Amino acid sequence: MDKNLTIHWFRQDLRIADNPSLYFAARQGSVITLYIVDKQQPAMGRASEVWLHYSLKKLNRALKHKLMVCQGEPLQILTDLIKQYPVTHIHWNRCYQPWQIKRDQKIKLQLAKQGVQVKSFNASLLWEPWGVLKKDQRPYRVFTAFYKHAFSKAEIPRKSLACPPDLENYQLPLTTKIDDLNLLPKSNWYRQLISHWQPGERAAQSLLDDFLNSKLYNYKTGRDFPAFDFVSRLSPYLHFGEISPHQIWWETTSLNSSDNSQHFLSELAWREFSYYLLYHYPDIINQNLQPKFDHFPWRQNRSQLLRWQQGQTGIPIIDAGMRELWQTGYMHNRVRMISASFLVKNLRIHWQQGAAWFWDCLFDADLANNTLSWQWVAGCGADAAPYFRIFNPVLQGQKFDPEGDYIYRYVGELSKLPVKYIFAPWEAPAEVLQNAGVVLGESYPKPMVDLKQSRQEALSAYKNLTFEEDKPQ
């Protein structure tokens, strides 16, 4: 047995290339590669568990089937391994959710008492949250200011690391298999879901290469059209760490600079900003970043929430998006904004209920991005859209899905309806509906709310909120 062993604890870094913790662990000597399902932490969504199952399978194969998987309390698992094997170092890459920070601090302290050297690394952010601050050392709350500072004054994102050239993965008796983690649901829902994807590091790199070579040239404009394939679709891979933002950053900047590449990098930076705000304002998971929204008159309407979740709102572009989510574990970003706006503004259902559904259904269910994006749409977060900006889903569909291709793809009930009426079937003449085999209220729902009226009601609620907030005390 080796005299010195280093444990690399995989978390949200399920890759071998550009993995600082694994890279420097390999330089220490033999490495125990470990993944722990921490049951004491908030649960993943169901879709995320499905992705994790397949991602771990790919990672284990890349590690020549030497990945140790466990389920339980990390400190206890690590302590047991230290007692059984000559472990001198433990490495991991940092995570930034509030409970992860608290847990890791506790583990570091306890392991140090046992004489084990613990080292943590940055593998998932271009800039550490504490490294981009105003002159008064306070965090930014506006994205543009954050991005300008990070891009011009902060340290340049580090170059990505190669795969460890001398990785000696120590073979342990693997008492728990990936299948034993029971990450897959009992229903077959996940089979269709995962059929649209190939989890894993190799697939992530292939997607990036394809995007940079054939899609980036039209990204700034094309990214808004859900029927077209001009987005990277890298968000699930970033979420699970199958590719790093450093890899994406440097491979993108190695190309000739253009409006498209700069816009793509700014989207990558928005992800950074979400992590940044979560780090500095950990309560935003459950609280509005702007406190005046604490008194907003949200509605409790379980039946309306359910219709939105099921893609049965009667608004085709929204139903298409919600069905894409359920069928593929993903939703085009433009449609995410439209669907979220409808929930929080037209229905006035709390953004947390929308965030919870996305958390459960999205493969890229990233706590920071999910939370901050929902708060942005609701108007209560950073860089929030003005309260009077309420997406009109009919106009959004006409503008960004002009031929109705995206709607036709997911709303089969309307497949024979002429494109002229696909965005608002309730405006179609009776004869047109009959010829298309559409019976509103039967084969396809009637709109669950009047868009114009619900918009006015939302505006009134927002105005009253602002008026009350601005009253002299």
Cβ atoms of 320 and 406 closer than 8 Å: yes
* Catalytic-role residue among 298, 301, 392, 426: 298
Q: Which pair of tokens denotes residue 412?
A: 């089969």
* Catalytic-role residue among 189, 250, 270, 426: 270
Looking at residue 2, its pLDDT comes to 57
Looking at residue 385, its pLDDT comes to 62
Cβ atoms of 403 and 419 closer than 8 Å: yes
270 is a catalytic site residue: yes
For the chain, where do the domains classified as CATH 3.40.50.620 start and end? Answer: 5-124
For the chain, where do the domains classified as CATH 1.25.40.80 start and end? Answer: 125-159+187-280
351 is a catalytic site residue: yes
> For each of the chain's 473 residues, which pLDDT tens digit applies?
556 899 999 999 999 999 999 999 999 999 999 999 998 888 899 999 999 999 999 999 999 999 999 999 999 999 999 999 999 999 999 999 999 999 999 999 999 999 999 999 999 999 999 999 999 999 999 999 999 999 888 888 999 999 998 899 888 887 889 999 999 999 899 999 999 999 999 999 999 999 999 999 999 999 999 999 999 999 999 999 999 999 999 999 998 789 999 999 999 999 999 999 999 999 999 999 998 899 899 999 999 999 999 999 999 999 999 999 999 999 999 999 999 999 999 999 999 999 999 999 999 999 999 999 999 999 999 876 666 789 999 999 999 999 999 999 999 999 999 999 999 999 999 999 999 999 999 999 999 999 999 999 999 998 887 544 443 33
* Catalytic-role residue among 333, 392, 413, 426: 333
Looking at residue 384, its pLDDT comes to 67
* Catalytic-role residue among 128, 168, 251, 267: 267
For the chain, where do the domains classified as CATH 1.10.579.10 start and end? Answer: 291-470
Looking at residue 469, its pLDDT comes to 43
* Catalytic-role residue among 326, 351, 357, 359: 351
426 is a catalytic site residue: no
Q: Which CATH number fits domain 291-470: 1.10.579.10, 3.40.190.10, 1.10.10.10, 3.40.50.720?
A: 1.10.579.10
Looking at residue 151, its pLDDT comes to 84
130 is a catalytic site residue: no
333 is a catalytic site residue: yes
Looking at residue 466, its pLDDT comes to 57
CA distance 94 to 124: 8
CA distance 150 to 144: 10
CA distance 380 to 387: 9
- Residue 102: count of CB within 10 angstroms of its CB: 11
CATH number, span 5-124: 3.40.50.620
**Residue 265: which of 277, 250, 279 has the closest Cα?**
250
Cβ atoms of 332 and 326 closer than 8 Å: no
* Architecture in CATH of 125-159+187-280: Alpha Horseshoe (1.25)
